[in-house]
A and B are shown apart, each in its own frame.
Chain A
Amino acid sequence: MARGTRRITTVVVAAGMALGLAACGGGNINSSGSSSAAGSSAKCGDLRIAVNPWTGYVSNAHVIGYVAKTKLGCNVTYPELKEEVSWQGMASGSIDTVVENWGHPDLVKKYITDQKVVVDAGPTGNQGIIGWYVPPWMAQKYPDITDWNNLNKYADLFKTSESGGKGQLLDGDPSYVTNDEALVTNLNLNFKVVTGGSEAALITSFRQAEKNKTPLLAYFYEPQWFFSETKLVKVNLPKWTQGCDDDPKKVNCDYPPYTLNKLVAKKFADSGSPAVNLIKNFTWTNDDQNKVSEMIANQNLSPDDAAKKWVEANQDKVNAWLK
């Protein structure tokens, strides 16, 4: 048995050495003082900003979140959700705010007007534009293509394996309501609407079209980070006037300009959190947003770093939101 005990000691010593090795390395966490949640955090508490799946939205969310975290001491989280689900989240109390809303009259009616669980927090300052776009090389080569009256003249260029002999109009992201089917019929265009199916499909198509100089006509929207990479050119449809798109079947005009706005959950609005004011005061321009989005999308910065960079360069704007 004596032999056995000695052997065990050897093993334990070996284990002890491993333990010693484990202890080597790095500063002590407690001494590095990483507990930053001091001071005003009690006042603000949690802030849950829904993040809808497009980069412009991410920019809004993280700039607001960064300011709320650093200036107000909020504990900010960014649940990533589709629009519809975010509205549901505000109704059920798991989401505090949506910071870039594109219209959604049906949801406005359900949650703001009828159930009164969501409150409009004012415009973001961004103008949403929806429409039909062509890659820049086409606008250069065929300058008159930006007038819808000439689209039929060029329909042949846009033929693809999907469009059945007509020109192809590539349609978009499933998240948006489009009038494109009706527009093609009502404007007597020799085009067929082909569903792209996702934003990735639209952007990839535009990227390839510009690179290989192939023709493409597609549904797209601004503000969008892709514009900082390739300046797509909008085709002008008959001008939008109030009421021209009321009947979805008879639409024969362009999409209306969207005033993008912010939303807060009623419960959160009444909570007295200082973040409510910040969200209500937040406004910026399309250029501001595109700058942050471009940093995220093309320079590979994390949304938080991009937000930090922008906030540091635009202190005056940020201070105005905090009043």
Chain B
Amino acid sequence: MFTPGNLLGWFGVVALFGWVSYAFAGWRPSLLVTSVTLLLGVFGLWTEGLDTLIITVFSVVISIVIGLPLGIAMARSRRVSGFVTPVLDVMQTMPSFAYLAPVAMLFGIGPATAVVLTLIYALPPLVRITEHGIRSVSANTIEAGRSLGVTRGQLLRQVQLPMAKRTIVVGINQSTMAALSMATIAALVNGPGLGRTVVDALQVLNVGKAAVAGLAIVAIAIMLDRTTTAASERTEKSTQGKVASVGYPGLSSKVMLEHLPRWATEDAGRGFELPRLTRAGRRLVLGVLLVPVLAAAYYSTLYLQLATFPDLSEVPAIREITGSALAGHINTVTTAFVDAVSGASEAFKNFVTYGFLNPLQSLLATSPWWTMALVIAAVAVILGGRRPLLITLVCEAVILGTGLWNEAMVTLTMTLVATVLVMIVAVIVGVGMGRSRIVDIVVRPLLDGFQTIPPFVYLVPALALFASSRFTAIAAAMLYGIPIATKLVADGIHGVSATTVEAARSTGSTTWQMISKVQLPMAREALVLATNQGLLYVLSMVVIGGMVGGGSLGYLIVQGFSQGQLFGKGLAAGIAITAMGVMLDRIARYAAERYGR
């Protein structure tokens, strides 16, 4: 569509990306960017990968342009905040399937729609985190600024924004991840990119092929995350007056630095053998490096081998990780895994379904609506105090108004069971990670991967293991919810002060006592937060669950997207989910405030 590959060959693109990331973020990120872009080529997903990258970056840039001022305005005025927050809630909790068709109709089919869909989902985290970042600048600092007589504009530009910058960068990163997670959904309305490969592969149930495209998305996510973080850290240093110490050029070495003109380097201070680049020196190095980059770009438009990524399927060693070979390996492993555990998985499914799911569902969904409404309101009050009561009642009224109360209760049952299972896993793994660095190092990349890989990739193995059932929907939701919850638990355990742990140890606590009596209670705040986030992540998988036997609201939404005459019902289901999401979030949030302390 608007792939740079049409203008520029792969060689030029790699060189240019490498140079840009070097200029803004330093040589480590540059190395990462170069490897990831090359990996896209090796996977045989060059065009798709670049399309995804472009749509993501483009959407995030627009998100920043809109989101930053909006976040600032919300931070400065309670009224704006009160007005915008519910809109953001809806944008984030309304399943995108519910509005896919109308958006495609409005913006036409293709990249524009993909950008709009991505934007709807990527904007809210940025706005929220920006608002939070600016609000958290301490009142004392602001007071100090005021007393010096600075105007509101100066205060914003010179005090609040710089101090909130770290938080805002986190917001941009979250926004990027949200944008990437929309790649597969956008593919359903012909959005270009890796998502389409995933969707196509799902059609013929080629798990390996989908997984390779999924891995490419994960690689892009890691690349964007590390690069933006590094870039922000660097500007932070340079604004503090220090010249970036990450300024070693990639191919640099002692030889290169010593051959630079005198004004380009300065003594790096004691302990550093090599001289350091001055600001002008950095510009010189960048300028000089630009020459081969531009040459690479130019030649890549002339020579076929530099234009289209070469086929590496004949090259030894690399051959094994080219797209189709890797897909084959993944397929083999998946099939073997499914065959090995399918007996046990069936037993576990039945245990959960007959033991918890069915009884809970018959309780929630077959009781008269007013009984359940009262019970939920009572639970809200018990957990969150009086504050979430009003919003709970409003949301209940909305769900009732959509006429989908029963379906909503079935969905609620699955959400609750999934959240409980998520928390069981999160506590076990999170405690392990919090207590042992090695476990953390091994497990964390896995969690990162599962957080960014499109769920479509693991639907087929999940179906093979658990057949088409509500439990399959729960399993898919668990895979999506476990990473975030586990990370939060791990951070909480890790954050328990060392002196407390030492004190407990000296009184002779066993490991079990240490975990259950000291570390977990001390990390209560993290546990509550993990439950809240786990719940919301699980809820966002309701639609995907509808595709694998979850039925209820999720299925209605998928159906509404697929069949025009059912669009209204799909939208109603979308509204019901949004109401349920807001309700559960508010209850959990107020509960967190009450019990988290």
Residues on A lying within 8 angstroms of B by beta carbon are 1, 3-5, 7-8, 10-12, 15-16, 18-19, 22-23, 25-30, 32, 34, 53-55, 58, 79-85, 87-89, 92, 94-95, 106-107, 160-162, 170, 173-175, 177, 194-205, 207-208, 212, 225, 296-298, 300
Contact = CB atoms under 8 A, between A and B. Distances in A.
Nearest to A296: B204
5 cross-chain pairs, A with B, having the tightest CB-CB distances, nearest first: A26-B305, A4-B261, A18-B292, A204-B463, A19-B295
Given A54-B203, A88-B104, A197-B551, A212 B288 contact: no
A19 B292 contact: yes
A79 B110 CA distance: 8
A22 B295 contact: yes
Contacts of A85: 101, 104-105, 109, 189
B58 interface: no
Contacts of B467: 160, 205, 208
Contacts of B337: none
Nearest to A81: B190
Contacts of B402: none
A49 to B, nearest CB: 12
B187 A12 contact: no
B589 interface: no
A162 B469 contact: yes
Interface in B215-260: 256, 259-260
A88 B109 CA distance: 10
A161 B307 CA distance: 55
A84 B204 contact: no
A297 B468 CA distance: 22
A80 B199 CA distance: 10
B546 A200 contact: no
Contact of B548 (A32, A34, A197): A197
A298 B555 CA distance: 29
Q: A-side binding surface: helix, strand, loop or mixed?
A: helix
Contacts of A225: 204
Contacts of B350: 161
Interface in B376-396: none
Interface stretch (B163-171, B446-454, B488-496, B559-567): B559-567
B471 A204 contact: no
B369 interface: no
A88 B291 contact: no
Contacts of A30: 302
A256 to B, nearest CB: 18
B260 to A, nearest CB: 6
A80 B196 CA distance: 8
B324 interface: yes
Interface in B324-345: 324, 342
Contact of A7 (B261, B469, B547, B561): B261
B189 A81 contact: yes
Interface in B162-212: 187-190, 196, 199-200, 202-206
A92 B565 CA distance: 19
Contact of A197 (B110, B259, B299, B555): B555
Contacts of B104: 81, 85, 88
Given A174-B558, A198-B548, A205-B467, A27 B342 contact: no
B548 A161 contact: no
A94 B108 contact: yes
Nearest to B324: A300
Contacts of A55: 203-204
Nearest to B108: A94
Contact of B551 (A53, A92, A177, A194): A194
Contacts of B550: 197
Given A29-B303, A95-B109, A195-B555, A84 B564 contact: yes
A203 B468 CA distance: 10
A205 B463 contact: yes
A94 B109 CA distance: 7
A107 B187 CA distance: 23
